[in-house]
Amino acid sequence: MPDRKIVYLPHPVSPETKAKHLAAGERIVDARFAPKGYAPEPAPIAEPENVVEEKPKRQVRRKFKK
């Protein structure tokens, strides 16, 4: 197996993050196994491109006939 870059990430890893690192050919290892003094690279904060804010659903109160 060729040497792959090891990336230490805290558990749990989102499927999107996991797919990104695996596509880059990196190996994912839980951050608790990181060597002493390991400083993770600051990850850029990615914002979703198509963010749609949902309005809260209107609560319907039904009146029952007696």
How many CB atoms are located within 10 Å of the residue 7 CB?
A: 19
SS3 of residue 39 by DSSP = coil
pLDDT at 50: 61
Give the count of alpha carbons within 13 A of 65, CB side only: 0
Q: Report if pTM > 0.95.
A: no
pLDDT tens readout for residues 20-63 = 988 888 899 988 888 888 776 655 555 555 656 677 777 777 77
pLDDT at 44: 53
Q: How far is the C-alpha of 25 from the C-alpha of 45, rounded, in Å?
A: 21
The residue with tokens 């990850």 is 43
For the record, the structure tokens of 65 come out as 């006939």
